[in-house]
């Protein structure tokens, strides 16, 4: 019998709402000194389990009990991908808004939000330094890159000194240095008095840090037997069960249009972008020819997403710079929709602000019109093509599910399918595997490689995980860190 004192017990818990129930009552015991990872594929129930811990569901049966000493008014804190919407009024926010200075004046700065998070000022200053976020303190929240925003959320929560911290895929979106730093910080926080207990929700076993002592595998809304970290990582049979290989041949849906001939997909000449004293891009020149496959690299906050927004015409300064797209100089009579029609695009920012709660099939169909919702009727042929892409990405069973009821990984697969439906000449994939489980990463990468093998397909791919690059990528463009001038 386990003699360690429990900190949290989930006792035969069954939520009242049928739609959020597991296949059997949930039984889970967290004890002192344990650090947990809940590991499973997309849509397996990891987030539902975290919601149970936080008391977000009324229970029909069972209970969730805390056995924590001292003051525990708010013992559980969590961090999830969409938490920006809990910090600001985002009902009218849209992902291009971050580039419009006049529309972001009322958004709080990083420093303002961190200062209100609690903790002793001296301790906070130490964490600012450790987490390398000091240069971002004056930034508006909406101007943070995806990786910077994750660092901010994690640091803000750590400053409140919770007893139990639930982190949903905390390492995605962070560059290698920030991932190492986060693992070190969590290890240090676990050694404080009172200690911090961590529950990580992970879709990839390779993301399990050394600080984790226990693993709860989850599959098909069923909790499997808990294991030690070492036992789980050595159990290849279990991992194959959780993340089965997807090695079937990739058969792409027929393209609606043939690629348009051009020599230069895009070229930018001496592009410079500044925000206040911060220079994001300085005298940047880059040329990408038809059919080339590039990796766009750089640390968090170096301007990768900003650069892509110039190409995609989301940034207002894209017409104030020297840019060529498909052999045509920007600003010579083309409309924004002419530009977007030949580009397939997905990014963490687009995902973050995609708040349309319409059926997933309509989300994919919106890619034909480059809209953040389906405002124009699609033809039957277009609907069939959208359904075929959903089937290719393994989400055809989700066609009628409202988008916001899907897991974060399922949403990402729908947005990926959306990027491909119009058979674009240029594919811009900014951290496309963000939040996907191991099997879906393999599936998506094979689809990308198969698509890019077609004639006249150009690819720009952003990732902080070099081992996730598709085989077709054979070129690299590196952005340096941003600078601040006195």
Which tens digit of pLDDT belongs to each residue from 325-355? 999 888 787 777 778 889 999 988 788 777 7
β 278-289/264-275 pair status = antiparallel
* pLDDT value of position 190: 76
Q: Give 283: exposed, middle or buried? Use CB within 10 Å, 0-12, 13-18, 19+.
A: exposed
Q: What are the Cα distances from residue 166, in Å, to 26, 51, 66, 138, 335?
A: 17, 10, 15, 27, 45
Tell me if 290 sits within 8 A of 265, measured CB to CB.
Answer: yes
pLDDT at 259: 62
**CA 268/CA 308 separation, integer angstroms:** 11
The arithmetic mean of pLDDT across residues 159-176, rounded, is: 84
User: Does the pLDDT of residue 431 top 50, yes or no?
Assistant: yes
Specify the pLDDT at position 101. Answer: 47
What average pLDDT does this structure show over 190-198? 78
Average pLDDT in the chain: 84
pLDDT confidence tier of residue 141, bands split at 50, 70 and 90: confident
pLDDT-derived band of residue 59, with 50, 70 and 90 as boundaries? very high
pLDDT for residue 85 is more than 70? no
Q: Using CA atoms, how far apart are residues 338 and 376, in angstroms rounded to an integer?
A: 16
Q: Write the DSSP string, 88-138.
A: S--TT--GGGGG-GGGSTTSPBHHHHHHTS-S-HHHHHHHHHHTT-GGGTT
Query: Which pTM does this prediction carry?
Result: 0.85
Q: What is the pLDDT of residue 219?
A: 95
Exposed (0-12), middle (13-18) or buried (19+): which is 193, by Cβ within 10 Å? exposed
Mean pLDDT of 293-297: 96
Return the structure tokens found at 73: 């008014």
How many whole angstroms separate alpha carbon 81 and alpha carbon 101?
Answer: 24
d(CA 41, CA 271): 41
pLDDT tens figures, 361-374:
999 999 998 776 66
Parallel, antiparallel or unpaired: strands 458-462 and 293-297: parallel
Please report which confidence band the pLDDT of residue 266 belongs to, taking 50, 70 and 90 as the band edges.
very high
Q: What tens digit of pLDDT does each residue of 434-486 get? A: 889 999 999 999 999 999 999 899 999 999 999 999 999 999 999 987 655 43
- pLDDT at residue 118 is higher than 70: no
Residue 405 pLDDT level (bands cut at 50, 70, 90) = confident
Between 290 and 86, residue with greater pLDDT: 290
Q: Give me the helices (H) in 367-471, please.
A: 380-392, 408-420, 438-452
Distance, CA of 432 to CA of 349 (rounded, Å):
11
């Amino acid at each position: 019998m386990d003699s360690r004192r429990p900190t949290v017990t989930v006792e035969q818990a069954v939520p009242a709402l049928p739609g959020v129930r597991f296949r059997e009552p949930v039984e889970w015991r967290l004890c002192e000194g344990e650090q947990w990872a809940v590991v499973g594929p997309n849509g397996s129930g990891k987030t539902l389990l975290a919601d149970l811990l936080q008391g977000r569901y009324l229970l029909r049966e069972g209970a969730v009990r805390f056995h924590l000493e001292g003051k525990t008014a708010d013992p559980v804190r969590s961090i999830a991908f969409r938490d920006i919407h809990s910090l600001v009024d985002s009902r009218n926010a849209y992902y291009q808004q971050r580039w419009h200075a006049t529309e972001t004046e009322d958004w709080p700065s990083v420093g303002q939000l961190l200062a209100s998070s609690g903790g002793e000022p001296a301790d906070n200053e130490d964490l600012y330094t450790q987490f390398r976020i000091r240069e971002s303190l004056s930034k508006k929240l909406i101007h943070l890159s995806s990786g910077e925003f994750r660092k901010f959320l994690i640091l803000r929560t750590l400053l409140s000194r919770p007893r139990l911290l639930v982190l949903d895929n905390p390492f995605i979106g962070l560059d290698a240095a920030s991932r190492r730093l986060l693992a070190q910080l969590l290890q240090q926080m676990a050694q404080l008095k009172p200690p911090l207990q961590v529950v990580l929700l992970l879709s990839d076993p390779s993301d399990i840090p050394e600080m984790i002592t226990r693993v709860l595998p989850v599959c098909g809304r069923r909790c499997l037997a808990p294991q030690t970290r070492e036992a789980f990582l050595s159990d290849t049979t279990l991992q194959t069960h959780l993340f089965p290989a997807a090695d079937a041949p990739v058969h792409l849906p027929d393209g609606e249009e043939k690629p348009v001939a051009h020599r230069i997909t895009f070229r930018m000449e001496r592009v410079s972008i500044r925000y206040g004293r911060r220079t994001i891009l300085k005298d940047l020149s880059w040329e990408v020819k038809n059919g080339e496959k590039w990796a766009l690299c750089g640390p968090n906050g170096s301007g990768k997403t900003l650069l892509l927004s110039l190409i995609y015409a989301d940034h207002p300064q894209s017409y104030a710079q020297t840019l060529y797209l498909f052999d045509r100089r920007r600003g010579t009579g083309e409309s924004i929709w002419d530009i977007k029609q030949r580009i397939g695009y997905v990014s963490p920012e687009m995902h973050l602000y995609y708040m349309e709660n319409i059926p997933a099939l309509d989300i994919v169909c919106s890619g034909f019109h480059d809209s953040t919702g389906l405002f124009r009727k699609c033809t039957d042929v277009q609907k069939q093509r959208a359904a075929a892409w959903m089937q290719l990405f393994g989400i055809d069973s989700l066609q009628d599910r409202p988008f916001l009821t899907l897991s974060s990984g399922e949403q990402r697969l729908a947005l990926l399918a959306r990027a491909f439906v119009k058979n674009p000449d240029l594919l811009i994939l900014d951290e496309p595997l963000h939040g996907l489980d191991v099997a879906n990463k393999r599936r998506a990468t094979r689809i990308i490689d198969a698509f890019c093998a077609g004639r006249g397909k150009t690819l720009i791919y952003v990732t902080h995980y070099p081992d996730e690059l598709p085989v077709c990528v054979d070129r690299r463009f590196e952005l340096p860190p941003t600078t601040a001038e006195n």
